[in-house]
């Protein structure tokens, strides 16, 4: 890793005698540091021999870097991590977390603070202590910066993997490919998949996406966030409370319709649900009084008018064919009721039956389809389904 994470400040001026003492004791200091690491850091003993050697290398290079900094004022122009610590930060990130890395630096500094000033001439003790503190501060910040850069790089890569998963689900790629992409982002949920799509806000940057992802994790086990064009797309898994989640997510979308859909199976089979939600976003403006958010299945007529084949199939299968197979003149009753201006009496006259018979048939329609002909919106859904069925 070649990263210039900062440059050293001007060196503290110590005497040549102090420098000679520091050079002469750099080896013993490194040995002392290694012994203190084993004594004070419980996790250090659990590392492999190779890993411990890598951490001792950090201490050795750090002490040698202090020597170079004090004896050569020009060294302050050199990149701190690259020239003074060599490859140690790369090994460090592979071995331990940032928290443990800072514990390591603190232990090294404490050890040097305890041992080094006592070896110095009286006139240089305070100066050497100041030098150790200033130098160790720069090293700590430099290593923290290396970890931060690595985290940013991992975050950008994770975002690309999430974007690929979103694209695979929306395109309806083979389930094996979707499952593979889901595994790459660490997806765990096997049920309760929810897809939410709506207008992206003006500031949909990396910070916004990270914050939104954290919000999603509060009510779902998995969360993937993506932006395609002007649309914000959420793939959620293991959702514990859909209503709570929708309320939390709604303020994060821009102006316009927000559509959601729910899939009970794994994400590898959620493409149809996602495509229905995506189609619902395009068709939502046709229903000016649609709630926000609105379920994709509540937009079936608008989606069908917009050319969504899934919506057409759903309306024909769950309404037209279901009523036709149920018999008892349910199809004719719905059509007559709509054409009669939603009047029970006019429908009864047209069909030559009693008004209570019309009521009973309409109740049966509601039980079979889930849509109530006596509700204006539901009647529109039923009327659209009948027209599609005849076509």
Considering only CA atoms, give the Rg of the chain: 34
Residue ranges covered by each domain of the chain: 16-154, 175-294, 309-390
Rounded alpha-carbon distances, angstroms, from residue 42 to 31, 34, 54, 92, 98: 18, 13, 17, 17, 16
**pLDDT of the residue at 10:** 56
Cβ contact 337:366 at 8 Å: no
User: pLDDT for 159-212, tens place per residue?
Assistant: 677 878 888 888 888 988 888 888 887 888 888 889 999 998 887 777 777 788
Whether CATH 3.10.105.10 fits 175-294: no
What superfamily in CATH does domain 309-390 come from?
PucR C-terminal helix-turn-helix domain (1.10.10.2840)
Mean pLDDT by 10 residues, the chain (391 residues): 46 75 83 83 80 77 77 52 49 63 79 79 81 77 69 59 83 87 84 88 76 82 83 86 84 89 88 91 90 91 91 90 86 87 87 90 90 90 91 88
Q: What is the pLDDT of residue 1?
A: 41
Evaluate if pTM is beyond 0.85: no
**Which SS3 state, helix, strand or coil, does residue 205 take?**
coil
Q: What are phi and psi of 260, to 5 degrees?
A: -135, 160
| DSSP reduced 3-state for 187 | coil
Q: Are strands 222-228 and 231-237 parallel, antiparallel or unpaired?
A: antiparallel
- How many CB atoms lie under 10 A from the CB of residue 309? 11
Please report the pLDDT score of residue 201 as a whole number.
Answer: 85
HSE-up of 367 (CA within 13 Å, CB side)? 8
Q: Look at residues 237, 257, 250, 367 and name the one whose alpha carbon lies nearest to residue 303.
A: 257
> 89: Cβ–Cβ under 8 A, 6 or more apart, which residues?
1, 3, 81, 142, 143, 146
* Residue 295: strand pairing partners: 260
Confidence (pLDDT) at 277: 92
Give residue 337's Cα distance to chain centre: 50
């Amino acid at each position: 890793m070649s990263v210039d994470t900062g440059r050293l400040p001007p060196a503290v001026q110590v005497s040549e005698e102090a420098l000679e003492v520091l050079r002469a004791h750099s080896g013993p200091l490194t040995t002392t540091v290694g012994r203190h690491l084993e004594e004070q850091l419980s996790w250090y003993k659990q590392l492999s021999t190779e890993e411990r050697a890598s951490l001792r290398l950090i201490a050795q290079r750090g002490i040698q870097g202090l020597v170079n900094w004090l004896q050569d004022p020009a060294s302050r122009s050199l990149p701190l991590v690259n020239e003074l610590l060599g490859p140690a930060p790369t090994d460090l990130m592979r071995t331990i977390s940032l928290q443990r890395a800072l514990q390591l630096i603190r232990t090294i500094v404490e050890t040097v603070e305890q041992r080094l000033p006592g070896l110095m001439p009286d006139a240089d003790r305070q100066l050497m202590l100041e030098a150790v503190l200033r130098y160790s501060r720069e090293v700590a910040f430099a290593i923290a910066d290396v970890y931060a850069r690595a985290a940013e790089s991992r975050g950008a890569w994770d975002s690309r993997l999430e974007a690929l998963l979103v694209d695979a689900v929306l395109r309806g790629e083979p389930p094996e490919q979707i499952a593979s992409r889901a595994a790459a982002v660490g997806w765990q949920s096997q049920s309760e998949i929810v897809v939410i799509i709506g207008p992206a806000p003006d500031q949909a940057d990396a910070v916004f996406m990270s914050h939104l992802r954290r919000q999603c994790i509060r009510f779902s086990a998995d969360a993937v966030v993506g932006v395609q064009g002007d649309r914000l797309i959420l793939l959620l898994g293991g959702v514990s409370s859909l209503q709570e989640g929708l309320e939390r997510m709604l303020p994060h979308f821009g102006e316009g319709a927000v559509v959601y859909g729910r899939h009970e199976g794994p994400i590898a089979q959620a493409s149809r649900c996602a495509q229905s939600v995506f189609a619902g976003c395009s068709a939502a403006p046709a229903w000016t009084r649609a709630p926000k958010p609105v379920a994709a299945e509540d937009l079936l007529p608008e989606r069908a008018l917009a050319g969504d084949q899934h919506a057409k199939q759903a309306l024909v299968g769950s309404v037209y064919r279901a009523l036709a197979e149920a018999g008892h003149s349910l199809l004719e009753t719905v059509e007559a009721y709509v054409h009669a201006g939603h009047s029970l009496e006019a429908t009864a006259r047209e069909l030559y039956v009693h008004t209570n018979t019309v009521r009973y048939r309409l109740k049966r329609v509601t039980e079979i389809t889930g849509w109530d002909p006596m509700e204006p919106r539901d009647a529109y859904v039923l009327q659209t389904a009948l027209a599609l069925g005849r076509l």
